[in-house]
Chains A and B, each alone.
Chain A
Amino acid sequence: MSEGTPIIQIRGLSKTFVTDHEIMALRNIDLDVQKGDIFGIIGMSGAGKSTLLRCIALLETPTSGTIEIEGRDISTLRGRDLIALRKQIGVIFQGYHLLMQRTVRRNIAFPLELEHKSKEEIARRTDELLEIVGLSDKANAYPSQLSGGQKQRVAIARALASNPKIILCDEPTSALDSVTTKSILQLLTDINRNLGVSVMIITHEIGVVRAICNKVAVINDGLFVEQGEMPGIFQKPTNAVTRLLLGLGEEDE
């Protein structure tokens, strides 16, 4: 599956934030995500992980470099084309960002309402999505009545609503306990296998990468220090940052 146009192709991506001083959050990043990948991006706090995801999600404008989704440069898209592209990319966040005044069902319906889909179609599709994420019994609950894991399931269903080709996840399990984390990761794996959605997952936990990723990039201080296939890349780690993330001391052999 590793030939053909990558679903995400990034070349020379840099992002500098200018506040009272300049912060180089991303430096010259190259990245290929192939269709069907579950691509992990791992790094420590402040490494630039969220910035990378936000650039792909069009929430941040790169300082330089290009991002192509299925061969199309995303920085050139405007209006309808831009909205169409956004619908190809689902995004889920650590903080869920659900609409608190809407029920679970209406949260999932939100992207469909934006497209002015008919009532019947929205009802049918939300039923389907509730089923996929296992929340059919919570359809009429409000987010404030759900656990963290359930909220993330709603966010995943909502991200799937417009049939995206890619799901970008920014630390989707970092606020969850280990059992819930496992079930959310399982759900993402199922979605990847059954619906053919490519997944990019950002994390600072090596366990997440080990559990579901087929490829991984290690990011440190805005740079990719290592990139490759799982599990090979972690078998004889030489890079200091990778070793640190793996929990190997410098003195270990």
Chain B
Amino acid sequence: MGDFAKYIPEFLTGTQETLYMVLVSAMFAYLVGLPLGVWVTITDRDGLRPNRAINSVLSVIINVGRSVPFIILIVALIPLTRFLVGTSIGPTAAIVALSVAAAPFVARMVETSLKEIDLGMIEAARTMGATDWQIIFRVMLPESVPSLIRGLSITIITLVGYSAMAGAVGGGGLGFIAISYGYNRFKDDVMLVTVILMIAIVSAIQLLFELVAKAVDKKNR
């Protein structure tokens, strides 16, 4: 562990890169996944606007998106990544594949959260003259905030895992450090520190989001 100190800057950059990849791709994933999740929920059989055709198409897109192994997705998206980012390596490039992988995942999480809502509440809003739009934005989404926050936490944690995989194939971040030092150059201690850092990040996210979810939840306290 003698020359350990000289890796500290690398760990710092690695952690930063990991957080950058994860947070930015989570944002993009929600930009697509949140509306998609709402859409698939309201087109479901007992949704606000049942529509079997749209619902089936969305379901297929989400399921296919979720079942493509991430490592294959990275490779398959190289042309798109080059087009969007200009390169297929580095943390920014990794964001493309991470976002695409997480969007359908987010859609399902959002759907699960929205379906936890008591249908009676939606009917009650209906009797008060609420439009579908008002029901979505004033009943469904606000009432599922605690559950959506827990979903966000799971999404971010999943993305941390994916980002390590992306890192291993050139995406940067802690995954890249683990591969290039720990594996290629047999630095077991570096590998160990990376793993500990990842565990720390995941635990911190879990703890933080659980606290926030508890704090905002006025139903189950």
Contacts and interface: CB of A to CB of B under 8 A. Distances in A.
Given A91-B124, A100-B218, A144-B220, A83 B131 contact: yes
A198 interface: no
B127 A99 contact: no
Contacts of A91: 124, 127
A97 B219 CA distance: 12
10 contacts: A86-B126, A86-B127, A89-B127, A101-B142, A101-B146, A101-B216, A110-B128, A158-B128, A161-B128, A162-B129
Contacts of B221: 144
Interface of B: 118, 120-121, 123-131, 134, 138-139, 142-143, 145-146, 216-221
A86 B218 contact: no
B220 A99 contact: no
B138 A97 contact: no
Contacts of A99: 121, 139, 142-143
Q: Which of A89, A97, A111, A143 has the most CB of B within 10 A?
A: A97
Give me the 10 closest cross-chain CB pairs, A-B, nearest first: A100-B219, A97-B124, A86-B129, A142-B218, A97-B120, A91-B127, A83-B129, A111-B128, A97-B121, A87-B129
A57 interface: yes
Nearest to A161: B128
Contacts of B128: 86-87, 110-111, 114, 158, 161-162
A154 B131 CA distance: 22
B197 to A, nearest CB: 36
A18 interface: no
Interface in A21-76: 57-59
A234 interface: no
A144 B124 contact: no
Given A101-B145, A144-B220, 20 more contacts: A57-B127, A58-B127, A86-B129, A91-B127, A93-B124, A95-B118, A97-B118, A98-B121, A99-B139, A99-B143, A100-B219, A101-B142, A101-B143, A101-B219, A110-B138, A114-B134, A114-B138, A143-B219, A158-B128, A162-B129
Contacts, number: 72
Q: Which of A86, A102, A114 has the most CB of B within 10 A?
A: A114
B125 A93 contact: no
Contacts of B216: 101
A33 B129 CA distance: 22
A86 B120 CA distance: 16
Nearest to A89: B127
A12 B14 CA distance: 74
Interface in A152-175: 155, 158, 161-162
Contacts of B120: 93, 95, 97
A140 B125 CA distance: 21
A97 B123 contact: yes
A190 interface: no
Contacts of B123: 59, 97
Contacts of B118: 95, 97
A38 to B, nearest CB: 19
Interface in A84-110: 84, 86-87, 89-91, 93, 95, 97-103, 110
Contacts of A93: 120, 124
B119 to A, nearest CB: 9
A89 B127 CA distance: 8
Nearest to A83: B129
A113 interface: yes
